[in-house]
Amino acid sequence: MTGLRNKNFIKIILSKTPIILLFVSVLNDYDFNHLGLKYFSFNFSYILIFYYSLKKSESLGYTYIFIAGLFNDVVIGTPIGLSSLIYLILCVAASYLRNITLRPSLLKDCIFFLFTILIINSLLFLSLKFIFNYELNYFDQIINITFTFLFYFLFSNLFDFFESYFVSSNNAG
């Protein structure tokens, strides 16, 4: 009986892992800033949201993404609602790609991801610079986009591995 309860608990934790990761990443900013690398930063939340909206849309509810966006705005100090909007546009792009894709491939996903983050970062940059009068460094944004795109390959494979070996095996068992 206790074993069954423990198994159910692990199953729940594993199924909620993407949500936990999303909130931890917006509260904590996994971008390795502490290494003090001058030309390195990436946006883990974009990768997580795009991957799970594309492959496992039931794992990451849109409402949670919306709330995570509000949290992110408070953490980094941008106008409230802006990150939510950006995250949701990312979800729209992922959902659109899911609807039109017959044979999924990582390369196509990556190219579409790059196209999407270029658009949403441009939108973010324009709105922060021209509507909300924030000073931003254009070069930092480009670096952030480049590394976010490159890291999509790595994290996509990691999430695939996690889903197939942990979540699926646990559900089957």
Q: Which of 31, 52, 28, 27 is nearest to 43 (CA)?
A: 31
Per CB under 8 A, the segment of 3-11, 84-92, 103-111, 149-157 that binds other proteins is: 84-92
Among 12, 61, 150, 157, binds other proteins (CB under 8 A): 61
Q: Does 58 bind other proteins (CB under 8 A)?
A: yes
Among 4, 5, 34, 105, binds other proteins (CB under 8 A): 34
> Rounded to whole angstroms, how far apart are CA atoms 108 and 56?
17
Among 10, 12, 13, 92, binds other proteins (CB under 8 A): 92
Q: Does 63 bind other proteins (CB under 8 A)?
A: yes
Per CB under 8 A, the segment of 1-9, 109-117, 132-140, 159-167 that binds other proteins is: 132-140
CB proximity list for 115: less than 8 A, separation 6 or greater = none
> Rounded to whole angstroms, how far apart are CA atoms 139 and 145?
10
> In Å, how far are 9, 26, 143, 159, 164 from 29, measured between CA atoms?
27, 6, 16, 19, 26
3-state secondary structure of 61: coil
Nearer to other proteins, 3 or 77 (CB): 77
* Sequence letter at residue 102: L
DSSP track, 77-128: TPPTTHHHHHHHHHHHHHHHHHHH-SS--HHHHHHHHHHHHHHHHHHHHHII
Q: How far is the CB of 73 from other proteins (least distance, A)?
A: 8
Among 11, 17, 55, 71, binds other proteins (CB under 8 A): 71
Nearer to other proteins, 19 or 152 (CB): 19
Binding site for other proteins (CB under 8 A): 23-24, 27-31, 33-36, 38, 41, 57-58, 61-63, 65-66, 69-71, 74-82, 84-85, 88-89, 91-93, 95-96, 98-100, 131-132, 134-137, 140-141, 143-144
